[in-house]
Amino acid sequence: MKKHTEPKRHLISFDSHTTPHVFTDVLVIGSGVAGLSAAIEAAKHNSVLVVAKDKIDENNTAYAQGGIAVVLSDEDTITKHVKDTIDAGQGLCDTTSAKAIISEGPKRVKELIAWGAMFDKENNHLVFTKEGGHRFPRIIRAQGDSTGKEVEHTLIRLVKESKNIKAFEHTFVIDLITKSGACHGAVAWHAKKGNILIWTKSTIIATGGCGQVYRETTNPDVATGDGLAMAYRAGATLQDMEFVQFHPTTLYIAGAVRFLITETVRGEGGILRNKRGERFMPKYHPQAELAPRDVVSQSILQEMQKTDHTHVYIDVRHIPKERLYSRFPKIREICASFGIDIAKDLIPVRPSAHYMIGGIKVDRFLRTNIKQLYACGEVACTGMHGANRLGSNSLLEGLVTGYEAGIDACKSIQKARRELLPYTIQESAESSKISWLDLEDITNSLKSLMWRDAGIERNERHLLEAEEMIEMWSRYVLDKEFSNPFGWELQNMLLVSKLIVSSARKRKESRGVHHRTDYPKTDNTHWKKHILIKKTTP
């Protein structure tokens, strides 16, 4: 095989003499729960610019259904929540990180409630539910199954009320601007202004995950791994990229968008059945439908293979209709649009790519190895989740890490007393001419390849095949200079896919969401450790 194609340092050419400049103390890239939490905190002492690739509320947070895992019940404890998180993480959790985030969670959620977030209540008390891997009901929710939407809109309202925060929508951040091991901002493309240079004192990446590299995913179109790719090109260290979590249950109807059927459906009593109508989870795990997500996803896949069927089913017909409809109004609406009455019919489901557990390696202050650059939320790897994220810990982590990144960015600026001093920069992408390329076809082929060869089940032959195909596509895509987001997204997806596959090949064991059929056992002797990746020539 030919030499591996290294990504260019910058995807486009730009010149500081001719490109418009924008100045802000803190740049936040991403507008989900982590990004907006960071912006709100940083804006207490600094000017902040939030950049959203699409509309400000188009992100993974807005699509989150289940809820927030948080210790707010008198019967629950931080110790119990930490234990459940570590047990799910199968030996790779950073215990200090998990405990710190979980301990801070109640304060942040109470603050969110004080800001006006309306979580579901009964008799004026918060309603708690249970999800897979949790031994105690600690999930709070909003509007039944629209928790993320409520959180997102609450934070957006605060952002709009802040005099220190500006927001650019429909703005694609292409690359970070770095010099002497520090980040000074980013080069971006604005839908109306074209290319711009954003100069900052601190930059916070909160771009979310990369589910779109897979054919089957719960993630919206914007989740193409841009933050991971731009950080890698700039020289940031990435960790645990092999650990991609697959949500066990997404609505499966051929031709329809994959819609998440939240884990709380099983928490409320939903039963998984195979093609023959048989309940199967009790034979795979003592917690049955409420086993950790990796177990449920792999069990569903086995049942699909045994019955030679494209999906399994969730059965909620035994739950009283009134409770079912009020508890899951969005799921009821979506299913009804396909002629499925959830009170009478089985819901067809199968696993889909859902959450990137790995990401940009950060310390306890959310700092990366690049000075003045932070990462928080799904794009970051705090070590909290280990090899398998516990359900509803993602919104919690985003809320807490965004807040803490905003705080430390402020402290860093105040301590260093840095000035916003742009410098001359002329970058040439040294690209070959654009030949005729069907970007949509390459994108679809990549997504299918990743689903087939680097999905729920993996082995050396398939991972090697994926590596070779990605390398071939990279040779004639990564050397091009595009002028639109679709081209940049494909370049980012190719890079992120390559990092996922190479990490998956290195980890010769099965652990959590990483399941190797050729290495089916967990190997604590050799692999109770993390895989770190860093570009050799940033």
172, 229 Cβ separation under 8 angstroms:
no
Q: 485-506 vs 226-234: helix axis angle to the nearest 10?
A: 80
- Was domain 248-352 assigned CATH 3.30.70.580? no
Residue 1 is predicted with a pLDDT of 42
Residue 432 is predicted with a pLDDT of 77
Tokens (6 digits) for 120: 């579901």
What are 431-477's pLDDT values in tens digits? 777 777 899 999 999 999 999 999 999 999 999 999 999 999 999 99
Beta bridge partners of 185: 177, 199
What are 179-212's pLDDT values in tens digits? 999 999 999 999 999 999 999 999 999 999 999 9
Residue 430 is predicted with a pLDDT of 75
DSSP letters for 351-410: EEEEEE--EEE--TT-B-SSBTEEE-GGGEE-SSSTTSPPTTHHHHHHHHHHHHHHHHHH
317 is catalytic: no
- Interstrand relation of 373-375 and 202-205 (parallel, antiparallel or unpaired): parallel
Question: What's the alpha-carbon Rg for the chain, to the nearest Å?
Answer: 22
Chain-centroid distance, C-alpha 501: 17
Backbone φ, ψ for residue 322 (5° rounding): -60, -45
Residue 159 is predicted with a pLDDT of 97
- CATH topology for 433-530? Methane Monooxygenase Hydroxylase; Chain G, domain 1 (1.20.58)
146, 57 Cβ separation under 8 angstroms:
no
Residue 95 is predicted with a pLDDT of 97
- Interstrand relation of 21-23 and 194-199 (parallel, antiparallel or unpaired): parallel
- Was domain 14-243+357-416 assigned CATH 3.50.50.60? yes
Hey, where are the domains in the chain? 14-243+357-416, 248-352, 433-530
500, 242 Cβ separation under 8 angstroms:
yes
Model confidence pTM above 0.85: yes
CA–CA distance, 391 with 125 (Å, rounded to integer): 22
Tokens (6 digits) for 311: 């999906």
Residue 347 is predicted with a pLDDT of 95
What are 291-332's pLDDT values in tens digits? 888 899 999 999 999 999 999 999 999 999 999 999 899 899
Residue 517 is predicted with a pLDDT of 96
CA–CA distance, 401 with 394 (Å, rounded to integer): 10
Residue 199 is predicted with a pLDDT of 97
Strand intervals (E) in 252-316: 259-260, 271-273, 312-315
Residue 538 is predicted with a pLDDT of 56
Residue 3 is predicted with a pLDDT of 59
Question: In the block, which residue shows the tokens 């990483």?
Answer: 514
184-191 long-range contacts (CB < 8 A, ≥24 apart) are: 184/372, 184/422, 184/423, 185/27, 186/27, 186/29, 186/51, 186/230, 187/10, 187/12, 187/14, 187/19, 187/427, 188/51, 189/485, 189/488
Tokens (6 digits) for 397: 């982590």
CA–CA distance, 468 with 487 (Å, rounded to integer): 21
Annotated catalytic residue, options 141, 293, 332, 516: 293
Tokens (6 digits) for 126: 């918060």
Taking 70 as the pLDDT cut, the residues of the chain under it are 1-3, 538
Closest CA to 511 of 133, 243, 238: 243
CA–CA distance, 427 with 536 (Å, rounded to integer): 19
By three-state DSSP, how is residue 478 classified? Answer: coil
Residue 509 is predicted with a pLDDT of 98
